[in-house]
Each structure stands twice: as C-alpha cells, then as structure tokens.
Amino acid sequence: MIFADRLIAITPEGELLELLDDDIPTAPPGLESEYATGVPPTFETLSATGGSIAPWLASITFGGPDLKTATWEA
C-alpha cells in the first residue's frame, strides 16, 4: 500500500497480515476520498504523504534461505 506506507501480506487462506504500518497521522484526509472517486489523487495530496521508516514503500521482495528477508525499492 504505497501511499499509505503500509506493508501487508495476504495468505493463501485469504487472511490479511499487516507487517508494517508506517502511516503518519498527519497524512491528508483527502487521499482516501480522492482514490474513491476513481480519479488519480493530485500531486499535492501525494506529496503530503510518506512515513518515516520507508516513505512510499514499493516493490517488496522476500528472499534468503527461508524466504523471510524483505527488501524493497522506492
């Protein structure tokens, strides 16, 4: 969930697991409502988002011998 700065996983059984929540409470309230319209959010709204650990977290890959090591690209 890139602009919400959350990392989730959905298990094969359909369970949603929240692995990281780096959302900032001051994120603009308009983000969700803009998404709901089906029109892309404005740049101003998107630029006001971003957590402190991994802003705009994207491209998660799990690797390592046990497939439990997460890496990402922003």
The residue among 41, 37, 32, 40 whose CA lies nearest residue 6 is: 32
With a threshold of 0.75, does the pTM exceed it?
no
Instruction: Characterise 53 by phi-psi region: left (phi > 0), alpha (psi -120 to 50), beta (else).
Output: alpha
Mean pLDDT of 53-67: 74
CA 1 to mean position of chain CA atoms: 3
Is the model's pLDDT at 58 over the cut of 70? no
User: Which structure tokens are listed for 53?
Assistant: 């650990």
Write down the mean pLDDT value for the chain.
Answer: 76
User: What is the C-alpha separation between 29 and 60, in angstroms, rounded?
Assistant: 26
User: How do the domains of the chain map onto residue ranges?
Assistant: 2-73
- Amino acid at the residue 4: A
- Amino acid at the residue 5: D
Helix (H, G, I), strand (E, B), or coil: what is residue 55? Answer: coil
